[in-house]
Copies of this chain bind each other. A is one copy, B any other.
Amino acid sequence: MNEFGRYVREKREQLLQSDKSFSLRQVAGRIGIEPTYLSKIERGGLAPPSEQVVLKLAHELGENPDILLAIGGKVSQELKEIILQRPELMADLLRQIKDMPEHAILRIVREVKDGDW
């Protein structure tokens, strides 16, 4: 269940090997939380922190924010707002592509990107 803590600890310790400033205390300091709190989170004793903290953590550790949020079971407010602006449309779209293979969705993303719409 506590994927998030394990993942953060592993990543932080990797970085720590080549840069002493990635101690738990210093990272906690830079992202503005108490070391105790980060310790608990990494050890799985507490739930993942707020979106704001996860985003700072992702930035600090060089991780993809969307992925780190997802590991913590969260969807960013940014994405929620995209859905909230056109809920029916987005809901239909998401349900349509839900079971599509990755490559098919990627094709859509790319078509849309260089799209002629």
Contact = CB atoms under 8 A, between A and B. Distances in A.
A117 B112 contact: no
Contact of A104 (B79, B83, B109, B117): B117
A117 to B, nearest CB: 4
Interface string A34-45: 000000000000
Given A100-B117, A104-B115, A112-B108, A94 B79 contact: yes
B80 A96 contact: no
Interface residues of A, number: 39
Given A75-B75, A75-B80, A117-B101, A112 B96 contact: yes
Contact of A86 (B73, B88, B102): B102
A108 B108 contact: yes
A87 B112 contact: no
Contacts of A105: 86, 89, 93
A72 B64 CA distance: 29
A94 B67 contact: no
Given A64-B88, A83-B75, A117 B109 contact: no
